[in-house]
Amino acid sequence: MSLLLNPIRALSIPPLLPSSKAHLFLRTNIKLRSSQITKNEALPSKTKKKIVLFDVAPPVSEESNGTVENGRVPEGQKKLGGVPPLGFLQKVLRRALAALSNLPLAIGEMFTIASLMALATVIDQGEAPDYYFEKYPEEHPVFGFFTWRWVLTLGFDHMFSSPVFLGMLILLAASLMACTYTTQIPMVKVARRWSFMHSSETIRKLEFADSLPRASIQDLGVILMGSGFEVFLKGPCLYAFKGLAGRFAPIGVHVAMLLIMAGGTLSTVGSFRGSVNVPQGLNFVIGDVMTPSGFLSTPTEAFNTEVHVNKFFMDYYDSGEVSQFYTDLSLFSLDGKELMRKTISVNDPLRYGGITIYQTDWGISALQVSKNGEGPFNLPVAPLQINGDKKLYGTFLPVGNTDSPDVKGISMLARDLQSIVLYDQEGKFAGVRRPSSKLPIDIDGMRIVIEDAIGSSGLDLKTDMGVPVVYTGFGALMLTTCISYLSHSQVWALQDGTTVVVGGKTNRAKLEFPEEMNRLLDKVPELVDSDNTIA
């Protein structure tokens, strides 16, 4: 016999004979046999790749018709009256798992959680009970029934740590784990089992099926290997698969969602929050400003750390508006040892001992003013208007008898730390001075110098054990979601005499799989008589 390239399913092979020859033909030692191939014999093939032959059949089969089956009851399994030991409990457990893994139930749980989260954006969180008494009175219930009793009884004033919200998270987690155990893990186990089909009729019933007359199943195996398939060959039977990672991806998605929910729950019931506005030069103890958010919140040794605001300063745009503000912080232990120092800004926090200190706000706490060479005096500054970034602060320098009910003085206004606007005792504009410029201004016979404007830093502090878990969960979710798009493709083939019957299926890419298989089958060479040549 000789090997002749099929003009329909052609395999591109470089010529093995000198180009001067008039005829191109390949000779091989393959000797076709009938379909009655013995158990321990395999079709030989001269190829560059080798296919490992297995003398033992696969342990478990996926097909009930024409495949190897291994459905024996394990030895040692005892039965009592047809019911295994603890059969009732196992039956209840199976029913519970089946109920939890129900897809409509899981969708309903996610919809309920989303609704509760939306409700939390409508109901103000963390307010005092009196606030809800006034906003949701019983005399005028919202929608005719919703009053403060609903809010406080169900814990909707702290939605994300309320029993209703946490219970829904636990129920959704149970559904995900039940679905993983009852559906996804068995699917992976089945996908990992390689099995042969011994019936050509069974192969022809697959999603894709074709036959190659006068072809070798070993040639098909080599071509499948070159396309990334894992190939198993036993006698006249072939099984190949690729894309097994796509079967593991749904389990990874479920694990990622569980991590996200676990991290969010830890953040809700095991964290601390605090905020403080500290003038430049003052300090505070971290534990004095932190408030627990849940029953798992446990303070650490870092709570005894003292934070000192060394300096507060700001950067400005050319237009004069604030572009960024900074705080130079030092952390001290109880014995006065400096542990850490860093200048923080917006989006550049300080982290120490699991505590994160954010720069979130700014203000003006005092003006240092000299009058007629005396001082400087620290004049407290009060906020007059705070509307987002549009802020206005003011102070007052009394003149004359301060015990008089009609005290007069010099008014000073500031929008930031750049400049101070001064008004005389009659309220008329007197001038503008920049702090630290040392440039005096005469008002009502007095010489005033603005020595400095002392800023105050708005800081937010938090500890959150759930943040790393949530980040890990979202990273795993993105990765496994991408992997889930990989197709798990399976191919079976049977050498039936001189014909190779091929079939396959895939869980995704239903349209691309037949095209890919046709391209691969086109590369399988046809076996012809040695006397035939190609002119």
Mean pLDDT of 218-224: 94
* Percent of the chain surpassing pLDDT 90: 55
Task: Give me the phi and psi of 164, to 5 degrees please.
Answer: -65, -50
Residue ranges in 57-142 assigned as alpha helix (H): 87-100, 103-122, 129-135
> Which tokens go with 365?
């706490």
pLDDT tens digits for 269-288? 889 999 999 999 999 999 99
Task: Report the pLDDT value the prediction gives residue 521, as an integer from 0 to 100.
Answer: 94
CA distance linking residue 223 with residue 13, whole number of Å? 13
CA distance linking residue 263 with residue 257, whole number of Å? 10
Task: Give me the phi and psi of 403, to 5 degrees please.
Answer: -85, -5
Q: Which of 210, 276, 283 is nearest to 519 (CA)?
A: 210
Question: Is the confidence at residue 216, as pLDDT, over 90?
Answer: yes
Mean pLDDT of 499-507: 94
Task: Give me the phi and psi of 193, to 5 degrees please.
Answer: -80, 125
SS3 485: coil
Q: Which of 86-90, 294-298, 332-336 has the lowest mean pLDDT?
A: 86-90
pLDDT tens digits for 46-70? 333 444 444 433 443 334 344 444 4
Question: Is the confidence at residue 5, as pLDDT, over 50?
Answer: no
Task: Report the pLDDT value the prediction gives residue 278, as an integer from 0 to 100.
Answer: 95
Mean pLDDT of 338-366: 94
Side by side, the strands of the sheet bearing 283-285 are 283-285, 306-316, 322-332, 338-345
* CA-to-CA dists, residue 82 to 73, 76, 94, 164, 523, angstroms: 13, 15, 17, 43, 55
* Percent of the chain surpassing pLDDT 70: 81
Mean pLDDT of 345-350: 94
Task: Report the pLDDT value the prediction gives residue 51, as an integer from 0 to 100.
Answer: 44
pTM of the model: 0.64
Question: Is the confidence at residue 252, as pLDDT, over 70?
Answer: yes
Mean pLDDT of 461-478: 93
Mean pLDDT of 225-251: 91
Q: Which of 229, 204, 226 is nearest to 503 (CA)?
A: 204
pLDDT tens digits for 134-167? 999 988 888 888 999 999 999 999 898 899 999 9
